[in-house]
Structure formats: C-alpha cells, structure tokens
C-alpha cells in the first residue's frame, strides 16, 4: 500500500507560519507497518535468494520487530523464530500472542544470555541449533534495512525544508540520511535516554552503506521522557489530544515522542516562518495494546 503525505492543520502551525505534513508509513501494511516494512523488504529478498526457509531474530516482549517479522514470515512463506529477552510469562502479552498466532516459535533467553546476541560464537550456536536460519539483528537494522529505508523519501512529491524521524537502533534514520545524500535538514529524535550514542551509530551505518559522511542531520535528544518505553502524563495527554484533533493514532515509544518534541520546537520558534516540515510516522501501533495491558493506560 502507499504511504501518503497528510497535512496537519493546527492553530500552532498557523501562528508560527509553518507547514507540517505527516508521512504515513504506518499505512504501508496492516501488520508489517512503517519502518518495519522498509527494513524487512530487502532482507526477505536476500533470504529467498539464499534459499533460507526460516527467519530468526531477537527482541523484547513488546517488540514491533518481533511482531512484524512473524507477520512477514506468515505472509511470505518463511518459518520464524523469535529469541525473546527475559523469562516467559503466561498468558502471552498481545505482541507475543500475535507473533505466536502467525506461527513464530518463541524461545526465551535470560537477560544475561541475551546480551551476547551479536557475538559471533553465540550466532554460530544459533545457526547450528536452528538449522541455518536467516538471522536478522534486533530491531532489524543492517545494511539491507538501511537500503529499504532510503526509499522512505523517494515518493515525497512536495518540496520541503526539514524531515523528522524517531530513532531506536538508528537504521531508519541512517536510511533517510543516506537516501537524501546531503539534501534537506534531518532531525532525529532518539527514543532512548542518552541517545547521543546514535551519532556514531548512524554515521557508521551510512558510511558502510555508501561511503559518505553528511552534515545535514542532527539528534534532538531531550524528548525521551526518561528513557526507552518510559512515559510521562504530559506525553500521554499529547498523544490523546493529537488523536482527537487529527484522527491519527500515535504510540508512546517512538512517534509519539517525536511528535511531542516537534510541536514543542515549533512552539519555541525553532523553524523559520514559511518552513515546510515532514514528519515520518514509522508505525508501531501494535504496541499500544501491550502498553495498555502493562501500565493500565489507555492510548
């Protein structure tokens, strides 16, 4: 499906004389939405080319990537294995229940064991144990994922000044940076506390992808609300108000934080009058059910 641009109309935008458009990546697919579709696209093609019949990947109990990989396996004919951080808890939460319903085998690793997920010896052990699966890293970020994310900006027909995205592992941001190749200004909103480490991560991913370094992007690191998957009442109130005003759902882990930060910057006069901003809605709405279950908070 398409990821159309949708203009937002808000008194604040009118007051500050800026335009804000939302790139609706969340509409790409009902279960493999947003940046997960972009990240998986070329990895699935590579898995097929190499004649793998199984995808194996990693994630926490509420991981968008786990849910999307399970859905992709079901849709495109791959068996799927999820290595889940932490202990098993029954009944399964909505994310893992969905993954299991898609046919994903769930295997749990202690947090200590899970820390070795990127080490060659641990990966070799998994290859042998699960009969040579195609292994995707946590969050799905590798160079094929970066390639997929370069395509986020390809169908934007409007001229614009700024593009904004949320960041977890930095793969989506790296794809946008590489895809724009020095054009426009890119604002990246880390969802994690101490997100400054993503500067080096994104630079390295872009360098590995196309051998270039660009200076047209920056991290906006002060809208993490306490850290990954942490929220505060003002964030939840903003997400609720945003949905009431614009009839668009957000989630509090990534896109909700980015949009809160973006509106705050607009309020502060960060953007020049007449500026046109595009914000990328990277999906992840499946996590709202688990968030509600875990914290008893309506999203």
Give the model confidence (pLDDT) of 130-145 as tens digits.
999 999 999 999 999 9
Provide the residue count of the chain.
Answer: 299
159 Cβ contact list (under 8 Å, min separation 6): 276
Q: For residue 121, how many C-alpha atoms fall within 13 Å in the half-sphere facing its CB?
A: 3
Q: Rounded to an integer, what distance in angstroms lies between the CA atom of residue 216 and that of residue 180?
A: 9
Angle of helix 94-101 versus helix 64-76 axis, rounded to 10: 20
| Token pair for 140 | 């799905």
> Taking 80 as the threshold, does the pLDDT of residue 292 lie above it?
no
| pLDDT (0 to 100) of residue 279 | 98
What would the mean pLDDT of 282-295 be, rounded to a whole number?
84
- Can you list the alpha helix ranges (DSSP code H) found in the chain? 11-16, 34-49, 64-76, 94-101, 111-114, 120-129, 143-149, 171-180, 198-210, 233-246, 255-267, 287-295
* Distance in angstroms (rounded) separating the CA atoms of residues 80 and 263: 39
Q: Shortest CA distance to 278 belongs to which of 111, 156, 183?
A: 156
Within 13 Å of residue 244, how many CA atoms lie on the same side as its CB?
Answer: 7
In this prediction the pTM is 0.95
Residue whose C-alpha is closest to residue 287's, from 127, 67, 35: 67
Encoding tokens for residue 55? Answer: 């995808």
Token pair of 281 as six digits = 């809605």
pLDDT (tens digit per residue) in 73-102? 999 999 999 999 999 999 999 999 999 999
Q: What domains does the chain contain, in order, with CATH numbers? A: 5-31+143-295 (3.40.50.1100), 34-140 (3.40.50.1100)
Q: DSSP character for 170?
A: S
CA-nearest of 160, 222, 146, 153 to 188 is 222
Going by pLDDT thresholds of 50, 70 and 90, the confidence category of residue 298 is low
**Sequence-separated (6 or more) residues with CB below 8 Å from residue 289:** 94, 95
**């004389």: which residue's tokens?**
17
Question: Are the C-beta atoms of residues 27 and 9 closer than 8 Å to each other?
Answer: no
**What pLDDT does residue 297 have?**
66
Which run of H or of E encompasses 185?
Answer: strand 185-190
pLDDT at 55 over 80: yes
């Amino acid at each position: 499906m398409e990821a159309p641009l949708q203009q937002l109309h808000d008194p604040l935008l009118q007051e500050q004389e800026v335009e804000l458009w939302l790139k609706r990546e969340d509409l790409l697919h009902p279960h493999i939405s947003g940046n997960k579709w972009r990240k998986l696209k070329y990895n699935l093609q590579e898995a097929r080319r190499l004649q793998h019949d199984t995808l194996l990947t990693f994630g926490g109990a509420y991981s968008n990537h786990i849910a999307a990989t399970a859905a992709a396996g079901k849709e495109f004919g791959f068996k799927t294995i999820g290595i889940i951080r932490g202990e098993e808890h029954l009944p399964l939460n909505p994310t893992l229940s969905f993954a299991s319903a898609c046919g994903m085998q769930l295997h749990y690793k202690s947090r200590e064991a899970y820390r070795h997920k990127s080490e060659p010896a641990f990966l070799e052990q998994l290859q042998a144990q699960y009969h040579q699966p195609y292994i995707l890293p946590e969050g799905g970020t590798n160079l094929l994922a970066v390639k997929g994310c370069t395509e986020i900006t390809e169908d934007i027909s409007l001229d614009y000044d700024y593009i904004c995205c949320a960041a977890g592992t930095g793969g989506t941001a790296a794809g946008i940076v590489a895809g724009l190749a020095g054009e426009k200004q890119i604002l990246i909103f880390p969802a994690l506390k101490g997100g400054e480490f993503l500067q080096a991560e994104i630079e390295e991913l872009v360098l590995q992808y196309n051998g270039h370094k660009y200076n047209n992007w920056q991290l906006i690191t002060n809208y993490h609300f306490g850290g990954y998957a942490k929220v505060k009442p003002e964030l939840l109130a903003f997400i609720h108000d945003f949905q009431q005003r614009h009839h668009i759902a957000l989630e509090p882990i990534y896109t909700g934080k980015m949009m809160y930060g973006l509106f705050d910057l607009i309020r502060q006069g960060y953007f020049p009058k007449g500026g046109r901003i595009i914000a990328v809605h990277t999906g992840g709405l499946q996590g709202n059910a688990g968030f509600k279950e875990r914290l008893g908070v309506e999203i």
